[in-house]
Amino acid sequence: MIALQEVRASDEQVREVLDRSGLRDWHLSCAPGRVKGHAGVAVLTRGEPSRVSRDLGPSEFADSGRWLEVDVSGPGGQVTVVSTYVHTGEAGTPRQGEKMRFLDAVGSRLAALAERDAYAVLTGDLNVCHGVDDLKNWKGNLGKSGFLPEEQAHLDLWARAHGYVDVHRALHGPGPGPYTWWSWRGKAFDNDAGWRIDYQLGSRALAAVATRAQVGRAAAYAERWSDHAPLTVDYDFAVGCG
């Protein structure tokens, strides 16, 4: 399956692009942003999901285009896939307060999913670097949104209290990097001065069958099609049955 963030398009516009890209037969689940051209998340699956939900919980985030859950059937049983997009925030402003409330809501929902599903994964752009291995210029970003201790504490809590595993980091091992986002400005991409802000956080059972993680970093600046690079993780349910 494929999870998308910052779609910034209507269902019809996304479907048109998919049709042109040879993905006509994939099932599209979308959560467009309430403001045209903003946010938006989606999940592509081979078959139709048994459940689709845009409900994170608090009414503040209803129809924000930042949360989408789908349940699909896999060889190991039902898998819940979440695509989320956490906005950037700005330290010391109401925007940062909104970001923290969103992260609170995510934690509550992950706790509920952990109780309900053996296999669950949160995918997406969290706009949080969990530690110094996830940000090239971490010293220069102390005190800034995306690298605040109170943001990082949420990821710690999700792992400690709810059992979610940073699958990418677990498979890759210590950093620095690999990063998933680089500014368009200056020489950030050429110097690999990036941020690791895109994640797959899997439940314990799902993380146990993860076999490979890879960041699809473009070969050169001119070949980039986004300031992010896709994160791909392979899961082999036969591993859990062996």
The residues annotated with a catalytic role in the active site are: 85, 125, 228
Q: Do residues 172 and 233 touch, judged by C-beta distance below 8 A?
A: no
Q: Do residues 197 and 138 touch, judged by C-beta distance below 8 A?
A: no
How many CB atoms neighbour CB 238 within 10 A?
Answer: 11
- Label residue 176 exposed, middle or buried (CB < 10 Å: 0-12, 13-18, 19+): middle
Q: At which residue do the structure tokens 């999700």 appear?
A: 158
Is 141 annotated in a binding site? The answer is: no
> Rounded CA gap, 43 and 52, in Å?
10
Is 69 annotated in a binding site? The answer is: no
Q: Do residues 79 and 206 touch, judged by C-beta distance below 8 A?
A: yes
Is 228 annotated in a binding site? The answer is: yes
List of residues 6+ apart from 219 with CB closer than 8 A: none
Is 227 annotated in a binding site? The answer is: yes
Q: Do residues 215 and 182 touch, judged by C-beta distance below 8 A?
A: no
Nearest alpha carbon to residue 148 among 185, 187, 93, 109? 93
**Which residues belong to the annotated binding site for Mg(2+)?**
6, 125, 127, 227-228
Binding positions are 6, 125, 127, 227-228
